[in-house]
C-alpha cells in the first residue's frame, strides 16, 4: 500500500489556489484552521448560524456557500453527509467550472450516487481518520492525524498532487497518508463507526454498566470501572497494540481479558458484524439513513434522547464534576 509523508507532498501545489471549506463543524473548523496555519488561502462557505459566527471569530474569510464555491479552485465539502447532496445541487454545482477540484472527507455521497459531479473537474477525498477536534488539537501539538486520500476523477492530471498537498496542509502527512478508493473508505468508515468505534463501544460500555448496577453495585463504581478507565486502557492499545496494554495491566486482568473477552464478543457478535457490513455494502444502510433524514429523523432523535437520559450519563456528569481535570472554572 502506498504511504505518503511530509516529503511526498508539496504545499506549492496549492499555491495561488483558493480553498473553500464548506461547513465549519468538527472537521470544517479543524481542517480550515490547520490549512490557514499552513499558509494556504482558505475561505469558509457556511450558512448563517453559530458555526458562521465561530468562523468569523476565528478570523477566517466567511461567505455564503455559493459565493465561496464561486471564488474557490478547491471546494472541500465538510457538511453533514445527509445535507451534502441538496447543498451541492443548489449552491455548489452551479459554480463547479472546468478544472476545479471537488473534495470530500467521507465518500458517502459519491459512493452511493447522491452527488454525481461533472466530468471536467477533479474529484478527490482527503479523509482524516479521527475526530475533527483531534485533527486541530494534534496539529497544534506539532503532530497529525493519519489521513486517507482517494482519487475518483483526475480531469486535470493534478488530482493526486492537490490531495497530497491538502493532506499536508491539515497535518496528515505528519502522521501517514494512505491511498484508498471512495468505496473502500466509505464502507470501512461506516463499518468501523457502527460496529466498533462508536456503536460497538457505547453498547459494550452500557452493557457492562447495566450488568454491574443491575447486580446491585454502586453506579459510581460501575462508571469508573467500565467507562472512565476505558480511555486509559485504549490509550495503551493506541500506543503499542494489545501487547503494550497487556504488559501494563495485571496478570490477573490479562488472564481474564484473553479467556472471557471472546465470551462477550463471540459468535453472535461476529454474525452481527457480517450483517452490518452487508447492509453497508448493499446500500441498505445508506438508503435507511437517507430516508430517516427525509422524515426528520424519528429513530435518530428517539434513540439519542434515550441514551442522553441513561443513568450512565447522569452518573458520569456527577463524577466528572468531582474531578478537577474536568472542571471548567
Ligand X SMILES: NC(=O)C1=CN([C@@H]2O[C@H](COP(=O)(O)OP(=O)(O)OC[C@H]3O[C@@H](n4cnc5c(N)ncnc54)[C@H](O)[C@@H]3O)[C@@H](O)[C@H]2O)C=CC1
Of 268, 252, 319, 287, nearest in space to 111 by CA: 287
The response to whether 7 counts as a known ligand-binding position is no
Choice between 50 and 231, CB closer to ligand X = 50
* Beta-carbon contacts of residue 265 (< 8 Å; ≥ 6 apart): 204
> Given the rule CB under 6 A, which of 6-14, 42-50, 143-151, 277-285 is the region that contacts ligand X?
42-50
CB of 254 to Mg ion, least distance (A): 30
Can residue 189 be called a binding residue for Mg ion (CB under 5 A)?
Answer: yes
CB-count burial class (<10 Å; 0-12, 13-18, 19+) for 172: buried
* Beta-carbon contacts of residue 152 (< 8 Å; ≥ 6 apart): 110, 117, 123, 124, 125, 182
CB of 155 to ligand X2X, least distance (A): 28
Can residue 114 be called a binding residue for ligand X (CB under 6 A)?
Answer: no
CB of 131 to ligand X2X, least distance (A): 4
Can you tell me the distance from the alpha carbon of 244 to that of 242, in angstroms, rounded to the nearest whole number?
A: 6
Can residue 65 be called a binding residue for ligand X (CB under 6 A)?
Answer: yes
Instruction: Tell me whether strands 41-45 and 61-63 are parallel, antiparallel or unpaired.
Output: parallel
- CB burial of 44-53 (b: ≥16 within 10 Å; e: otherwise) equals bbbeeeebbe
Residue whose C-alpha cell reads 454474525 in the numeric block: 271
Q: Is 228 part of the annotated catalytic residue set? A: no
Can residue 189 be called a binding residue for ligand X2X (CB under 6 A)?
Answer: yes
Contact in structure between 129 and 108 (CB atoms under 8 Å): no
> Given the rule CB under 6 A, which of 43-51, 193-201, 267-275, 277-285 is the region that contacts ligand X2X?
193-201
Near Mg ion in 192-221, by CB under 5 A: 193
> Given the rule CB under 5 A, which of 92-100, 186-194, 275-283, 312-320 is the region that contacts Mg ion?
186-194
One-character DSSP codes across 199-257: HHHHHHHHHHHHHHHHTT--HHHHHIIIIIHHHHHHHHHHHHHHHHHHHHS-HHHHHHH
CB of 142 to ligand X2X, least distance (A): 21
Choice between 197 and 265, CB closer to ligand X2X = 197
Contact in structure between 34 and 136 (CB atoms under 8 Å): yes
The response to whether 132 counts as a known ligand-binding position is yes
CB of 318 to ligand X, least distance (A): 28
Applying CB under 6 A, among 15, 116, 197, 258 the residue interacting with ligand X2X is 197
Q: Which three cell numbers stand for residue 17?
A: 489556489
> Given the rule CB under 6 A, which of 136-144, 190-198, 285-293, 313-321 is the region that contacts ligand X2X?
190-198
* Beta-carbon contacts of residue 166 (< 8 Å; ≥ 6 apart): 14, 19, 35, 74, 76, 103, 124, 126
Site residues (CB under 5 A) for Mg ion? 189, 193
Site residues (CB under 6 A) for ligand X2X? 130-131, 189, 193, 197-198
Site residues (CB under 6 A) for ligand X? 23-28, 46-47, 49, 51, 65, 78-81, 83, 87, 105-106, 127-128, 131-132
Q: Which residues are known catalytic residues?
A: 106
Amino acid at each position: 500500500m502506498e504511504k505518503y509523508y511530509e516529503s511526498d507532498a508539496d504545499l506549492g501545489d496549492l499555491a495561488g489556489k483558493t480553498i473553500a471549506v464548506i461547513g465549519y463543524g468538527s472537521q470544517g473548523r479543524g481542517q480550515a484552521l490547520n490549512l490557514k496555519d499552513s499558509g494556504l488561502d482558505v475561505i469558509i462557505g457556511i450558512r448563517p448560524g453559530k458555526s458562521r459566527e465561530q468562523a468569523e471569530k476565528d478570523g477566517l474569510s466567511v461567505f455564503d456557500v455559493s459565493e465561496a464555491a464561486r471564488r474557490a479552485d478547491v471546494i472541500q465539502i465538510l457538511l453533514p453527509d445527509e445535507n451534502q447532496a441538496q447543498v451541492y445541487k443548489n449552491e455548489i454545482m452551479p459554480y463547479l467550472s472546468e478544472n476545479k477540484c471537488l473534495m470530500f472527507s467521507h465518500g458517502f455521497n459519491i459512493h452511493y450516487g447522491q452527488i454525481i459531479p461533472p466530468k471536467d473537474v477533479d474529484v478527490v477525498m482527503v479523509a482524516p481518520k479521527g475526530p475533527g477536534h483531534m485533527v486541530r488539537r494534534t496539529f497544534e501539538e506539532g503532530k497529525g492525524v493519519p489521513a486517507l486520500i482517494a482519487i475518483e476523477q483526475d480531469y486535470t492530471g493534478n488530482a493526486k498532487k492537490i490531495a497530497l498537498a491538502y493532506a499536508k496542509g491539515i497535518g496528515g502527512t505528519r502522521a501517514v497518508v494512505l491511498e484508498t478508493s471512495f468505496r473502500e473508505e466509505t464502507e470501512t468508515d461506516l463499518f468501523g463507526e457502527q460496529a466498533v468505534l462508536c456503536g460497538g463501544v457505547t453498547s459494550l460500555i452500557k452493557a457492562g454498566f447495566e450488568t454491574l448496577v443491575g447486580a446491585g453495585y454502586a453506579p459510581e463504581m460501575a462508571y469508573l470501572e467500565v467507562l472512565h478507565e476505558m480511555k486509559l486502557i485504549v490509550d495503551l492499545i493506541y500506543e503499542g497494540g494489545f501487547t503494550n496494554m497487556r504488559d501494563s495491566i495485571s496478570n490477573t486482568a490479562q488472564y481474564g481479558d484473553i479467556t472471557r473477552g471472546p465470551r462477550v464478543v463471540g459468535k453472535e457478535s461476529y454474525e452481527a458484524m457480517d450483517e452490518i457490513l452487508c447492509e453497508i455494502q448493499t446500500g441498505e444502510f445508506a438508503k435507511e439513513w437517507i430516508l430517516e433524514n427525509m422524515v426528520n429523523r424519528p429513530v435518530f432523535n428517539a434513540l439519542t434522547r434515550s441514551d442522553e437520559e441513561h443513568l450512565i450519563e447522569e452518573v458520569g456528569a456527577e463524577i466528572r464534576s468531582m474531578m478537577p481535570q474536568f472542571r471548567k472554572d
